[in-house]
Amino acid sequence: MAASDSAQDQAAPYGGGSAGPKRVRIRHFQQAKRDGVKITGLTSYDHLTAGIFDRAGIDFLLVGDSAGNTVFGYDTTLPVTVDELIPLTRAVARGAKRALVIADLPFGSYETNPREAVHTAIRFMKETGAHAVKLEGGERSAEQIRHIVEAGIPVMAHIGFTPQSEHGLGGHVIQGRGDRGAAQLLRDARAVEEAGAFAVVLEMVPSEAARAVTEALTIPTISVGAGPHCDGQLLVWTDWAGLTTGRIPRFVKQYAQLAQTLEDAANAFREDVSSGEYPASEHEYE
């Protein structure tokens, strides 16, 4: 790395453009927590959106197993396979010049034992160009996290509501409620931190429980419906941009209405073709 590149890489970690590093690294997550700078993350599943979000200065892009719902049309994330996520992750990695790209390990690819987890993580790193992996589970996944980190691969953990366990949890139910739930959430958070995770996602937990975890940990916490007290926020981009139709999580703020925009555009195109308005007469293309 050239000296000028090194200087820029050590600059203020977030904000995009010339104020940020040429590439967000896991050390920048730690720096952001120390400095009180909020971290931003969006899911992405393709090259074009990855480039858009990257240029906007989004700090990390998660190629989530939420692709099961948004890309493949499954009812849950459970059917998603490694072979389905690898080409999506490769496309996102090619589109992101600055953001940290994180690959989600799908259900059934890491739970059996640490050796399986390391094998899956290595596949993503070798075949996609991702910079880190994410997996679900607190205490129950600590050994997998430890072995992946020992193999030299950064891990983002995920606790609270874990979608891959939705049947075991009884559906989309808020986790970490009450003294007992909050205590288990904190145990899970400490377990993944001790195992070497560089950050942890807290999904669908009460904001005060998330605050307690955030204050207790030295690694950053990333909220998915866990309130404002975490060190960063992550959203599924199709929810955030209004491309998802029907019911969306209550914690999502929609910043656009792309579903309606695309429907309007498709209607206009159909009408223009039907009326002969499109394409224009031949001489206009000469």
- Helix (H), strand (E), coil (C) string for 10-41: CCCCCCCHHHCCCCCCHHHHHHHHHHCCCEEE
- Euclidean distance between CA atoms 145 and 180, whole angstroms: 24
Looking at residue 2, the DSSP 8-state letter turns out to be: -
Which pLDDT score, from 0 to 100, does residue 177 have? 94
Which pLDDT score, from 0 to 100, does residue 174 have? 81
Predicted confidence band of residue 163 (pLDDT cuts 50, 70, 90): confident
277 is catalytic: no
Q: In the chain, what is the straight-line distance between the N-terminal and C-terminal CA atoms, in Å?
A: 50
pTM: predicted TM-score of the whole model, two decimal places: 0.91
pLDDT of 127 > 80? The answer is yes
Which pLDDT score, from 0 to 100, does residue 247 have? 86
Mean pLDDT computed over 186-196? 98
Mean pLDDT computed over 196-219? 98
Give 123's contacts (C-beta < 8 A, 6+ positions apart): 82, 86
Mean pLDDT computed over 65-92? 96
Predicted confidence band of residue 22 (pLDDT cuts 50, 70, 90): confident
Which pLDDT score, from 0 to 100, does residue 1 have? 27
Predicted confidence band of residue 112 (pLDDT cuts 50, 70, 90): very high
Which pLDDT score, from 0 to 100, does residue 5 have? 41
Which pLDDT score, from 0 to 100, does residue 170 have? 65
Mean pLDDT computed over 239-264? 95
If you average pLDDT over every residue of the chain, what do you get? 91
pLDDT of 10 > 50? The answer is no
Specify whether the CB–CB gap between 235 and 43 falls below 8 A: yes
Which domains does the chain carry? 22-238+250-255 (3.20.20.60), 257-286 (no CATH)
How large a percentage of the chain has pLDDT more than 70?
89
Active-site option among 116, 127, 166, 203: 203
Mean pLDDT computed over 83-105? 98
How large a percentage of the chain has pLDDT more than 90?
83
